Structure 1
Amino acid sequence: MPQLNDFRGVWTLSRHILQADGPEGRFAGQAVFTPEGAGLRYHEAGQLFLTGEVPMQAERDYLWHAEGAQIVVRFEDGRDFHRFDPEAAAAAHWCDPDDYRVRYDFAAWPAWSSEWRVTGPRKDYVMISHYTRA
């Protein structure tokens, strides 16, 4: 199973978004993990395509840190997002009133994926992301 520093570098990122009551989406771009402090900064950038919409540039940042066997993921401003153990690879995040659940899959490392299931009164979608070394 990967350790935090195994993520360093550039990854090709493709994402599929399936909304229960909205346009289907896909994202194509890159994710880059660079050293920052005692951890890594995750930055993704690329094009977001939503059915029936004009493609748009999209990007986001997170901070990843090791804490024992776990990887802690924080928002760019330092707020907690979620944490996971690469051996178990599942996590949850409550963003009132929506519930975010993720499962990471490292079985084909260094290729890996994440699958987010988001439910609540404001959101209902599945987002599947695939990462391969660039």
Structure 2
Amino acid sequence: MGLGLNDFEGVWQVERRIDNAAGPDARFEGVARFERDGAGLVYAEAGELRLAGQAPIRGERRYLWREEEDGRIAVFFDDGRDFHRFDPGAEAPGDRHHCAPDVYDVAYDFREWPEWESRWRVAGPRKDYAMVSRYRR
């Protein structure tokens, strides 16, 4: 397919499902913006997180997306710490992030581009959840 960092630039609707084995499931709906910052793209997400029986919570997050020489995309936390990398052209793009004692596994799916999704599986002593985020223009 030949996706690169520039293909993500713009505004996306995001819908997320969080299936939590250790607590209530959650849903998130909002907007993700990929905007240029000189070194790549800044991912800025804002929306509402809903848990059963609770008032909606405003949620925001930011990441830095950078294209590497080999075409992979490196994702960093907004403070510059390394998060994960993936090859958007791979048959099964994904990675693993260790945040001791927890492990975060991500798989991206670009087969229905320009709609795409990320699937996270998080496991650790106090974490046990699956999170699927669906993006569309």
Correspondence 1:34 to 2:59 = no
Among candidates 91, 98, 119, match of residue 94 of structure 1: 98
| Alignment correspondent of 2:5 | 4
| Alignment correspondent of 2:77 | 75
Among candidates 96, 109, 112, match of residue 108 of structure 1: 112
Question: Equivalent residue of 1:5, what SS?
Answer: helix
Among candidates 108, 113, 119, match of residue 123 of structure 2: 119
Q: Distance in 2 between matches of 1:51 and 1:119?
A: 22
Query: Are 1:115 and 1:127, in contact at CA under 8 Å, matched by a contact in 2?
Result: yes
> Structure 2: which 5+ runs fail to align?
none
Deviating above 4 A after TM superposition, structure 1's stretches of 4 or more consecutive aligned residues are none
Q: Distance in 1 between matches of 2:126 and 2:40?
A: 33
Question: Equivalent residue of 2:106, what SS?
Answer: strand
Deviation at 1:69, TM superposition (A): 1.7
Calculate percent identity across the aligned residue pairs.
57
Aligned AA for 2:65?
Answer: W
Aligned AA for 2:75?
Answer: V
Aligned AA for 2:87?
Answer: D
| Alignment correspondent of 2:56 | 55
Aligned-residue CA RMSD (Å): 0.7
Q: Distance in 2 between matches of 1:38 and 1:60?
A: 19
TM-score, structure 1 as length reference: 0.97
Question: Equivalent residue of 2:7, what SS?
Answer: helix
> Structure 1: which 5+ runs fail to align?
none
How many residues are paired up? 133
Deviation at 1:21, TM superposition (A): 1.5
Query: Are 1:39 and 1:64, in contact at CA under 8 Å, matched by a contact in 2?
Result: yes
Deviation at 1:83, TM superposition (A): 0.3
Q: Distance in 2 between matches of 1:101 and 1:51?
A: 26
Q: Distance in 1 between matches of 2:57 and 2:7?
A: 30
